[in-house]
A and B are shown apart, each in its own frame.
Chain A
Amino acid sequence: GNSVTQMEGPVTLSEEAFLTINCTYTATGYPSLFWYVQYPGEGLQLLLKATKADDKGSNKGFEATYRKETTSFHLEKGSVQVSDSAVYFCALVVGNEKLTFGTGTRLTIIP
Chain B
Amino acid sequence: DTGVSQDPRHKITKRGQNVTFRCDPISEHNRLYWYRQTLGQGPEFLTYFQNEAQLEKSRLLSDRFSAERPKGSFSTLEIQRTEQGDSAMYLCASSPSGTGWDGYTFGSGTRLTVV
Contact = CB atoms under 8 A, between A and B. Distances in A.
Given A51-B100, A104-B42, A44 B56 contact: no
Interface stretch (B14-22, B63-71, B77-85, B101-109): B101-109
A49 interface: yes
Nearest to A33: B101
Contact of B41 (A49, A93, A104): A104
Main secondary structure of the interface of B (DSSP, over half): loop
Contact of A45 (B33, B48, B106): B106
For chain B, give the interface size range. 20 to 34
A66 interface: no
Contacts of A98: 33, 45, 48, 56
Q: Is the interface of A mostly helix, strand, loop or mixed?
A: strand
Given A101-B42, A102-B42, 16 more contacts: A32-B100, A34-B101, A43-B4, A43-B91, A43-B106, A43-B108, A45-B106, A46-B104, A89-B43, A96-B98, A97-B56, A98-B33, A98-B48, A101-B44, A103-B41, A104-B41
Interface of B: 4, 33, 35, 40-45, 48, 56, 91, 93, 97-98, 100-102, 104, 106-109
- 6 nearest interchain CB pairs? A101-B42, A44-B106, A43-B108, A98-B45, A43-B106, A103-B42
Interface of A: 4, 6, 32, 34, 36, 41-46, 49, 51, 89, 91, 93, 96-104
